[in-house]
Structure 1
Amino acid sequence: MQARDNSHARGIDVSHYQGTIDWAKVRASGISFAFIKATEGTTYTDSKLAANLAGAKAAGIKVGAYHFCRAGIPGDAEKEANYFIQVLNSLGGIAKWDLPPALDIETTNNATNLTRTCQAWLSRVQATWNVQPLLYTYPYFAKSYLDASLGNVPLWYANYGVNQPADVAGWTRWQFLQYSDSGTVPGIVGPVDMNEFDGSEDELMGYELSVDDANKIIAFLSAAYNATSIPAAQDEFHRLANELRKASGQPEQ
């Protein structure tokens, strides 16, 4: 798999174990995303789910929801997926979340085929929201219970103290890496899981170009267009101006 990088965006994952979080302090410390525990099994909803969702989004932190899997067979996994979907829909649905939903699979429960169990949950959630979920797991579990057919599922990988995780099962890359379970972050009392995104904060956050900013840049391009008589240069200035119009939601000219 790819190595960690200092330019990558940093994040956390949280549940009720972190208590009441001061999300403004978390964001000010440089944390740009958070995975929030939503559900477990078919009956448990994390008591801090709604508060963590509201607090993190208000602070400008990208959020994703995760489900802790207790299922041992595909049929039970579908029931757990339905519960997860029901709970998130009660909070406004998948549109409230910025990051893909995630399945946390790290316990066997005497399962005979955990790969099929994971696939059942992932398929049910993807069919409901048309979003490809992530799969969270760790090295021993992936080696012991999961097979290569899951390699096309984006991986949220727990691997501590390693700069470049080895390939495992069907995965050759991670999308998110949980690199510590004992981080310290302002705004949170006690240890918290630390994560890294395979990309910069700008790539994670995205950038929405406002009409006002686009038009200011277009004005400079127009001046450059009028200052030259070279057709190729004029064509390029015109092309760039239209790209800015498209990026800001304006019609091309």
Structure 2
Amino acid sequence: MKSNYGDHGRHRRKRYPGGMTVKIVIAAVVICICAAIFLVRSFVKRNADNEASKQVSVLELEEIEEPIPEEEPVVAASIEASVNEEQPGEAAVEASSEEEELDIQMGAGAETGEDIDVADLVSASNVGENSSITYGIDVSRFQGTIDWAQVAASGIDFAMIRVGYRDSSTGELKADSNARFNMQEAEKNGIKIGAYFFSTAVNKDEAVAEANWVKDYIAQYPITYPVGYNCEGFDKESSRQYSLTKDERSSIAEAFLDQIYKAGYTPIFYASMGELAGDVQWNTSQIEKSYKIWMAWYNQNTSNIANGPAYDGQCAMWQYTNQGTVAGISKKVDVDVAYFGYNGTETAKDTSERVTATADVEALMSFDTVDETVTAKNSTNLRDKPSQGDDSKVVVTLQNGQTAQRTGISSSGWSRVVLEGSTYYAVSSFLTTDLTAPKQETEQPVTTSGFKTQFADCNETVTAKDIVNLRSKPSVTDEDSTVAATLSSGDTATRTGINTDYGWSRVEYNGQTLYCVSSYLRVVE
């Protein structure tokens, strides 16, 4: 048993190495085949990756070389993403668009805010409105002839200019006699322009007619600031609007403002704080939802004017005084602060050539019409405007015996005369209608004052009807007669003497004895 097992065992040991060799060879072949397959597949994949890499690099270079496209609106981008991802139908895209727009307007997931009428944003500006604080004035013919270069140099940003009014008795629409001149000169000196109209409309049709009149009147000027509706004095029995209710007046105002907006201008409503607060005289709470409010409120703390008045309602523009002093304006003027500004200056809606405007030199005076021939009592200067100020020029001198035609007389002491076809102005007291009156002698006895002009003594308090120069001598022709002071209406002086022949008064003012034309003064009762 042992030998047989042994033989068998030896035989198997001899054959085992040979069988293993075959198996090893077969395994090696299989491994080589697998390795070859793996290498081939890796090579193919590597080539594919290289090609892809080359394509990406080319695309990146092409994108860099191309101009950067404009950003699409958020809504459009969201819709496009939705189409790419889900491919909804056309109706689904439209619905998605509406939802996206609604989210942008209201704020997706946000709490519902306060109800706001979009009319709050009523503005027709083409140059862009901003939230800066700007300072201005509002003027009319009652400020006289304005030197707009001086106004601009004083730092004024804008001017609200009265362009017209409806006559309170006849209902006729009339232009402010200095409106075109004021708009022209304000523009020339870089001051932005707004406008306003004084209304006495008694119904909506009249209000719309007023707005259309304003639209046409201002069309050739660059109106950047708002166009205002101004209505006052309606509580007086003499007013055309006296019988109107608050609701009626308010609807009339809104008709004007709405028509101004339709004409392409930003509307603004003007009234005093006492009329606005609590809807006392106007439906303020309704009007302020749609239009800017321009409020007049005086004698308030203006130490921090940029914060606005202590008023609960809307106030876009605050007229905080009517006693402003501004270089270039001889009269007191309304001063305003606006809690908005503009990024530029508007272009006139009508760019056709316009006629150059001149100032109305009679703006501060009312002349009664007359038609009579006059001569000088001695000799008198004829001026280009009814003023003895530096802005007035002596054009010619009228001598005794030489005649002119007087066409107007003002209570302020001036006469309008026509000489050889030209219109001039002279002090009325220096003229006479007695064409045979002998020339008054200039040589008079020297008085104790040292002057030849004789004064009858008096003692009374006087003030200027408007404004008058107080001179060192009773003369406007003597080179030594200088203007020592100016007396304005409301300021007082003591008149100590009066000369009826030449129309001069002697006054005591601030400790000085001075002289002025009597017709410029009135007695203070």
Q: What TM-score results when the alignment is normalised by the length of structure 2?
A: 0.35
Q: 1:9 aligns with which of 111, 114, 134?
A: 134
Is 2:185 aligned against 1:47? Answer: no
Query: CA offsets, 1:72-111, max 9 Å, x none?
Result: 222221222222222223xx16xx2111211112232222
Could you say which residue in structure 1 is the equivalent of 2:230?
104
Q: 1:165 aligns with which of 275, 289, 310?
A: 310
Give the Cα–Cα distance (whole angstroms) in 2 for the partners of residues 166 and 122 of structure 1: 23
Give the Cα–Cα distance (whole angstroms) in 1 for the partners of residues 200 and 133 of structure 2: 32
Deviation at 1:185, TM superposition (A): 0.4
Kindly tell me: are residues 207 and 144 of structure 1, through their superposed partners in 2, closer, same or farther at Cα, counting changes over 3 Å? closer
- The answer (yes or no) to whether the contact 2:135–2:158 under 8 Å persists in 1 is yes
Is 2:336 aligned against 1:206? Answer: no
Whose strand fraction is larger, Structure 1's or Structure 2's? 2
Higher relative contact order (CA 8 A, sep 6+): 1
Could you say which residue in structure 1 is the equivalent of 2:143?
18
Give the Cα–Cα distance (whole angstroms) in 1 for the partners of residues 205 and 275 of structure 2: 21
| SS of residue matched to 1:182 | strand
* Aligned-pair identity (%): 31
Question: Which residues in structure 2 correspond to 1:131-210 (within 5 Å)?
Answer: 131-142=265-276, 143-147=279-283, 148-152=285-289, 153-163=291-301, 164-167=309-312, 172-199=313-340, 204-206=341-343
Deviation at 1:52, TM superposition (A): 0.4
Deviation at 1:207, TM superposition (A): 6.3
Number of residue-to-residue matches in the alignment = 189
Deviation at 1:162, TM superposition (A): 2.0
Q: 2:205 aligns with which of 51, 75, 82?
A: 75
| SS of residue matched to 1:17 | helix
Query: CA offsets, 1:205-239, max 9 Å, x none?
Result: 5369xxxxxxxxxxxxxxxxxxxxxxxxxxxxxxx
For 1:144, give the aligned amino acid: V
Unmatched runs of 5 consecutive residues or more in structure 2: 1-131, 167-171, 235-240, 302-308, 346-525
Give the Cα–Cα distance (whole angstroms) in 2 for the partners of residues 8 and 132 of structure 1: 18
Give the Cα–Cα distance (whole angstroms) in 2 for the partners of residues 136 and 154 of structure 1: 9
Give the Cα–Cα distance (whole angstroms) in 2 for the partners of residues 88 and 31 of structure 1: 21
Q: 2:161 aligns with which of 36, 54, 57?
A: 36
Query: CA offsets, 1:184-223, max 9 Å, x none?
Result: 0000002000111115xxxx25369xxxxxxxxxxxxxxx
For 1:122, give the aligned amino acid: L
- The answer (yes or no) to whether the contact 2:288–2:314 under 8 Å persists in 1 is no
Deviation at 1:60, TM superposition (A): 0.8
Query: CA offsets, 1:150-193, max 9 Å, x none?
Result: 012101110112242322xxxx2211110000100000002000
Could you say which residue in structure 1 is the equivalent of 2:194?
64
Kindly tell me: are residues 207 and 73 of structure 1, through their superposed partners in 2, closer, same or farther at Cα, counting changes over 3 Å? closer
Give the Cα–Cα distance (whole angstroms) in 1 for the partners of residues 273 and 342 of structure 2: 29
Q: 1:120 aligns with which of 255, 259, 280?
A: 255
Give the Cα–Cα distance (whole angstroms) in 2 for the partners of residues 72 and 188 of structure 1: 34
Give the Cα–Cα distance (whole angstroms) in 1 for the partners of residues 150 and 209 of structure 2: 37
| SS of residue matched to 2:269 | strand
Kindly tell me: are residues 121 and 8 of structure 1, through their superposed partners in 2, closer, same or farther at Cα, counting changes over 3 Å? same
For 1:44, give the aligned amino acid: K
Give the Cα–Cα distance (whole angstroms) in 1 for the partners of residues 275 and 208 of structure 2: 21
Whose helix fraction is larger, Structure 1's or Structure 2's? 1
Deviation at 1:141, TM superposition (A): 2.2
Unmatched runs of 5 consecutive residues or more in structure 1: 1-6, 209-253
For 2:225, give the aligned amino acid: L
Deviation at 1:132, TM superposition (A): 3.1
Query: CA offsets, 1:40-92, max 9 Å, x none?
Result: 12521001111101111111111101111111222221222222222223xx1
Larger radius of gyration: 2
For 1:137, give the aligned amino acid: A
Kindly tell me: are residues 125 and 145 of structure 1, through their superposed partners in 2, closer, same or farther at Cα, counting changes over 3 Å? same
Give the Cα–Cα distance (whole angstroms) in 2 for the partners of residues 139 and 127 of structure 1: 27
| SS of residue matched to 2:224 | coil
Give the Cα–Cα distance (whole angstroms) in 2 for the partners of residues 61 and 207 of structure 1: 11
Give the Cα–Cα distance (whole angstroms) in 2 for the partners of residues 207 and 146 of structure 1: 33
Is 2:221 aligned against 1:86? Answer: no
Give the Cα–Cα distance (whole angstroms) in 1 for the partners of residues 255 and 233 of structure 2: 16
| SS of residue matched to 1:115 | helix
Could you say which residue in structure 2 is the equivalent of 1:4?
none
Kindly tell me: are residues 161 and 11 of structure 1, through their superposed partners in 2, closer, same or farther at Cα, counting changes over 3 Å? same
